[in-house]
Structure 1
Amino acid sequence: MTLAKHWVYNKDEDIVLTQLKGLVAANPYVHLIADEKVVFNPHSDTSKKITVISGGGAGHEPLHGGYVGENLLDAAVSGQIFASPSTKQIMAAIKKKSDKSKGTIIVVKNYTGDVLHFGLVAERAKSEGYKVELVAVSDDVAVGREQNKMVGRRGLAGTALVHKVLGAASAEEKAELKAVAGLGHAVNENLVTLAASLDRTSVPGKAEQEIEFNANDEVELGLGIHNEPGTKIKPIPKLDDLIKDMLRKLLSAEDKDRHYVDFDGDDEYVLLVNNIGGTSSFELYAITEHVLQNLPLKKKPTRVLVSDFVTSFNSPGFSITLLNLSNIDKRKVGYSSKDILRFLDTPTNAPGWKPKSYASKDWDIQSDRQEDSPMKHQALLTSDLKIDAKSFEEHLKSGLENLLKEEPKITHYDTLVGDGDCGETLAAGANSILKALKDDSQFKKHLSDPVATLSQITEFVEDSMGGTSGGIYSIFLTALVQHLKVAEKVDHETVANAFHNALHEGLFKYTKARIGGRTLVDTLQPFVDTFQDTKDLSKAVEAARKGCEETKNLEASFGRASYVDKKELEAEGGIPDPGAVGLLALIQGFTK
């Protein structure tokens, strides 16, 4: 059991109401019935359109209040966290927004409390003269038919698709209640969703709550959005393997207990990738690409929707939802797959619907939108200068291998004074060049031309090394190439001059780092200046070594090390700058 951490709220504060007030404060388009926790759109004229109302327990935001807006929900009712709202709350939403002429559709997730409470209100409203249809969303494939015969499968991220389709359909002038409700049932019957998460969720506002989190090497498949358990997988599989397993469960007809929707290879479908709450946007888009690469269906999805649609607080997971459009066409429910796509594309000002509403014609362009870089076929910069290719290759390998040997030490230093990635960054650059020496015939072909060779090395560095050090190496090498290109021969004097000009007229234009700033320049500048002054390579290497050693005694002026207390460095016995150590290893290896 682990103690979950959240912000500390006021004692006895109704945190659900607090967040609803915050939602309304940030959305001038909606109003709030605070006593009943009902968010509604005061601008929708439900005497002329079908009313669409939804709701359920809090904790799944932006569901439900975040979906109130034009062409989406007219009202949303919030219960307490993971608990259905009361019939009184739901009836308040009906009376506030429903009109007896056009009728009302209630959309709920298929959980016992929601279906009972919203269903009871639907019947009461009918007895008062309202026309009401209820659509229960049940898209989860983790729940088998035999596992829960009484309740059926749960409503998950597919709920957002039902909201969006019915919200836009209900706003059309000629829309009829039974037909729109039938569309909702048809969409639901062709939805499948499966969730995976690295861990459980925890609830804010509960002090000292204990959560049985998963082990560090576990992932959970098929879990619910209220901490209902799934199947634990140990160790955590590679993402591609996990996604293949999820897609197999979503699409395969072999498991009769959990096979709910038929998919043929030529079917049109919508893909929705949902953030359950604690997944970063960075990873969510990476996950989406892995899903697309592993989809076994012949056609690409007609729409790809990625966002936090139906969440569970901070659960670090995602779910995959597929909506089979072709099946709906086969059923002839009065609406076609093109209608559904049009409803999904209809713009809305509801803040919870975050996918951009692109025009349908933009989605219809199915060509590959990934293009080759204009840099791909750039002509190689060459010169008439000549060096001993074999000797240069040996020295280059020696320098790179020496750098890789020092990488663990550099990484250790950087974990103490930086963000820990300096060694990895340098190793990435070194390995990219070594790989080219082994596999790239174009690169090896030009080793006798220092301009061509350094130009290609600069490209390898730019492609493989990020961060400040990658930028510094790239700028210096680019300037070095420019100054070597005008040389008439290669000897100590011309190389020394090229190094000096690359540093003082090139790199120093773009950084204020100088000797004494505790950076790789403390190695580079003594090497370059000494070589320029003496034309003696051994003296230049010794000057570089001394400059690097001196960084133990310097206070950082640049980079993340500048935020580290000098006393911490002194307590460690003096830590040299990791970048300076890396460059020294490269120089010493190259000049052996």
Structure 2
Amino acid sequence: MSYFLPETDPVLTACRGLALTHPDTIALCEQPLYLKATAPAPTRRVALLSGGGSGHDPLHIGLLGAGGLDAVVPGETFASPCNAQIHAAGLDVAQDRDGVLVIIKGYTGDVINFRAAAERLHARGIRVDEVVVRDDIASASAGAGRRGTAATTVVEKLLGAAADRGADLDDLAELGRRAVARSRTLTVCARPHTSPATLRPAFDLKPDHLDYGSGIHGERAPRSIPRPPVADLVHRMLDDLGAGEGPPAEEGVLLVVNGLGGTAPGELAAVAAVAAEQLAARGTTVAAVLTGTLATALDMAGISLTLTQLAPGWLQLWQAPVTTPLTTWPRAAAAPVLITPPTTDRTLMAGRMPGARAVLDHYTQIITQVRTPLTTLDQQSGDGDFADNLLTGLRHALTRVEETGEDGLTAAGAAFLDHVGGTSGPLYGLLLDRLGTATAACPDGHRPALPALTKAFAEGAAAIRRVGEAQPGDRTMLDALTPAVRALSLARESDDSPLTTAALAAIAGARDTAALLGKRGRASYVGAHTLGSPDPGAIGVALLFVALADVYEPTFAVRLPAPGYIVKPAPAP
């Protein structure tokens, strides 16, 4: 449990502390937030950029420095950073370099935001390539593919050493992809992490059971098992990792025993000894072993085993010198080095629209009202951060309206795109940005024209499909958005309540997701655990339509159910 994190800006405050205790190796940019290595090897031609949600410490910041990463972009807890942060960090480290290699954990939000930032960097003439780490075998069959977990440490260490030797962008990208292809990880959990939102265990786990195949965002495994003796557990994990199968690796294997935040170092060392002995019995040469708390899930009690089949020359890269927080003792505290980030052009729209501002205010009130049950729903699908991320974006939008005078929903689109990471942040940003084009063009307080509304929502849905690679039926926000768009397209301009009708369709679509297995995003990792509970992203879209109907069609919106009902789990069949 996080007893000692500040209530306000905990991630930023933690980053300030890291810069304070490592002033000779780390510099901090506070807005947008990222950290940068201050003393990279002069032989380095390509910058290495990584990051992801907080709560996995010391990943990635633990590998920031000489022999490691050039910049790290932290998101909120269990949520990817937004692409504005990544873009700013990329611009910074690209100076006097031949390119930037971005290293991405294979989570949907991370992939979307890092790729969006890479597109922006490429548009500025910067050479960019990517390595997506997908090492978690427990999520291999999920629709979104394997997650990126503890093997990220291995990939980043190998790439850091190769970059210091002067490798070019193409060679580094190839090395990273080969390392990913030769790495596998499996995670087990004995005690779930404590949800920062509820201060309770993120999910229920029977006594004397293990969650077998957990994710580092606290995602439930497809199954739990009775807790076996440690030797039997390690044997089963090595079987599932394919240890000893096929021809032996040319240079042996690298074994990483990782703690998830609540496992003692002695336990990790013991598991490493058991695993190394069993690997030797299988005829597998263990060339190197790393144990420690490396890629965590807040305070989860658990372990992961990673096996990387070493290719010729990789062991030398693994053993190359490195100066990072993960491998060096902190020096005396000093004032942190602050960065002024490169500026980007921004065109601000003028003209506040009371109707759209009322929608923004009302939507914020609704999400605040249902924050706790919405968090509970999200914990059953993933990590439980959806409601807080949604509120973060809405609060940024309210601030932006006051500062710029923008239309409320135009401001919301920009706020989500610029300030909210994770999976939902950029997708909601795309939807709200399109919706803002309809509300900004209508007279004060009037409902936007039906064709403009229909076009905005249809374009938003199309953008979400392109970026998120989801379709209706995948248990995503599209399952609420698609029927609502259909209802709008069938309405006539003369109708009194098209938004109320669309809201009813969105609510029905969102509620129906309780019967769907997730095929995209984090819900795809947890299997049947989501059945009976509607998708939180779809619920969020339905509540947006409720807010629109309440503001623009108050006489007819009384037909809509209360938000508290909409968020409730579906009744048992």
| Contact 2:260–2:295 (CA under 8 A) maintained in structure 1 | yes
| Contact 1:224–1:230 (CA under 8 A) maintained in structure 2 | yes
| Contact 1:46–1:102 (CA under 8 A) maintained in structure 2 | no
Output the CA distance in 1 between the equivalents of 2:223 and 2:194: 18
1:183 corresponds in structure 2 to 175
- Secondary structure class of the residue paired with 1:294: helix
Q: 1:160 to 1:210 in 2, by over 3 A?
A: closer
1:44 Cα offset (Å): 2.4
Output the CA distance in 2 between the equivalents of 1:237 and 1:103: 49
| Contact 1:218–1:232 (CA under 8 A) maintained in structure 2 | no
Q: 1:219 to 1:72 in 2, by over 3 A?
A: same
1:322 corresponds in structure 2 to 307
- For residues 226-305 of structure 1, the aligned pairs below 5 Å read 226-251=217-242, 264=248, 268-295=252-279, 296-305=281-290
Q: 1:262 to 1:84 in 2, by over 3 A?
A: farther
- Secondary structure class of the residue paired with 1:288: helix
Output the CA distance in 2 between the equivalents of 1:81 and 1:181: 28
2:159 corresponds in structure 1 to 166
Q: 2:319 aligns with which of 337, 345, 353?
A: 345
2:21 corresponds in structure 1 to 26
Gaps of 5+ in 1: 254-260, 329-336, 356-592
TM-score, normalization by structure 2:
0.54
Q: 1:265 to 1:47 in 2, by over 3 A?
A: closer
The question of 1:68 aligning with 2:64 is answered yes
Q: 1:192 aligns with which of 184, 191, 198?
A: 184
Q: 2:110 aligns with which of 110, 114, 130?
A: 114
Residues 301-341 of structure 1 show CA distances to partners (whole Å, capped at 9, x for unaligned) of 1111111121111111111111112xx4xxxxxxxx22x11
Output the CA distance in 2 between the equivalents of 1:210 and 1:299: 38
Output the CA distance in 2 between the equivalents of 1:273 and 1:120: 33
Q: 1:301 to 1:48 in 2, by over 3 A?
A: closer
Q: Which of 286-295 and 96-105 deviates more? A: 96-105
| Contact 1:99–1:130 (CA under 8 A) maintained in structure 2 | no
TM-score, normalization by structure 1:
0.53
| Contact 2:251–2:287 (CA under 8 A) maintained in structure 1 | no
Determine which structure has greater relative contact order: mean sequence separation of CA pairs < 8 Å that are 6+ residues apart, divided by chain length: 2
| Contact 1:109–1:115 (CA under 8 A) maintained in structure 2 | yes
Residues 512-555 of structure 1 show CA distances to partners (whole Å, capped at 9, x for unaligned) of xxxxxxxxxxxxxxxxxxxxxxxxxxxxxxxxxxxxxxxxxxxx
Output the CA distance in 2 between the equivalents of 1:108 and 1:353: 22
Q: 1:216 aligns with which of 191, 207, 218?
A: 207
Q: Structure 1: which amino acid aligns with 2:151?
A: G
1:106 Cα offset (Å): 0.4
1:263 Cα offset (Å): 5.1
Q: 1:280 to 1:87 in 2, by over 3 A?
A: same
| Contact 1:68–1:350 (CA under 8 A) maintained in structure 2 | yes
| Contact 1:47–1:99 (CA under 8 A) maintained in structure 2 | no
Q: Structure 2: which amino acid aligns with 1:106?
A: V
Residues 250-277 of structure 1 show CA distances to partners (whole Å, capped at 9, x for unaligned) of 0069xxxxxxx95538762111111111
Output the CA distance in 2 between the equivalents of 1:275 and 1:208: 21
2:378 corresponds in structure 1 to none
Output the CA distance in 2 between the equivalents of 1:240 and 1:54: 35
- Secondary structure class of the residue paired with 1:23: helix
| Contact 1:134–1:181 (CA under 8 A) maintained in structure 2 | yes
| Contact 1:70–1:350 (CA under 8 A) maintained in structure 2 | yes
Number of matched residues? 327
- For residues 467-482 of structure 1, the aligned pairs below 5 Å read none
Q: Structure 1: which amino acid aligns with 2:188?
A: A
1:55 corresponds in structure 2 to 51
Q: Structure 2: which amino acid aligns with 1:243?
A: V
Output the CA distance in 1 between the equivalents of 2:225 and 2:116: 43
Output the CA distance in 2 between the equivalents of 1:74 and 1:22: 19
1:38 corresponds in structure 2 to 34
Gaps of 5+ in 2: 330-573
Output the CA distance in 1 between the equivalents of 2:163 and 2:290: 21
- Secondary structure class of the residue paired with 1:211: coil
Output the CA distance in 2 between the equivalents of 1:208 and 1:313: 12
- Secondary structure class of the residue paired with 2:191: coil
1:282 Cα offset (Å): 1.1
Q: Superposition RMSD on alpha carbons, in Å?
A: 2.2
Output the CA distance in 2 between the equivalents of 1:354 and 1:281: 17
| Contact 2:243–2:282 (CA under 8 A) maintained in structure 1 | no
Structure showing greater radius of gyration is 1
1:291 Cα offset (Å): 0.9
| Contact 1:157–1:193 (CA under 8 A) maintained in structure 2 | yes
Output the CA distance in 2 between the equivalents of 1:25 and 1:348: 20
Output the CA distance in 2 between the equivalents of 1:138 and 1:347: 26
The question of 1:78 aligning with 2:74 is answered yes
| Contact 1:100–1:131 (CA under 8 A) maintained in structure 2 | no
- For residues 460-471 of structure 1, the aligned pairs below 5 Å read none
| Contact 1:46–1:98 (CA under 8 A) maintained in structure 2 | no
| Contact 2:62–2:326 (CA under 8 A) maintained in structure 1 | yes
Q: Structure 1: which amino acid aligns with 2:209?
A: E
Q: Structure 1: which amino acid aligns with 2:150?
A: A
1:10 Cα offset (Å): 4.6
- Secondary structure class of the residue paired with 2:268: helix
Output the CA distance in 2 between the equivalents of 1:33 and 1:324: 37
Output the CA distance in 2 between the equivalents of 1:315 and 1:89: 28
Residues 17-39 of structure 1 show CA distances to partners (whole Å, capped at 9, x for unaligned) of 11111111111211100122211
Q: 2:146 aligns with which of 153, 162, 167?
A: 153
Residues 167-226 of structure 1 show CA distances to partners (whole Å, capped at 9, x for unaligned) of 1101113x111011100000000101001120111244x454453242221111110001
| Contact 2:193–2:201 (CA under 8 A) maintained in structure 1 | no
Q: 1:250 to 1:65 in 2, by over 3 A?
A: same
Q: 1:57 to 1:182 in 2, by over 3 A?
A: same
Residues 458-501 of structure 1 show CA distances to partners (whole Å, capped at 9, x for unaligned) of xxxxxxxxxxxxxxxxxxxxxxxxxxxxxxxxxxxxxxxxxxxx
Q: Structure 2: which amino acid aligns with 1:96?
A: D
Output the CA distance in 1 between the equivalents of 2:153 and 2:201: 30
Q: 1:8 to 1:323 in 2, by over 3 A?
A: closer
Aligned-pair identity in percent equals 32
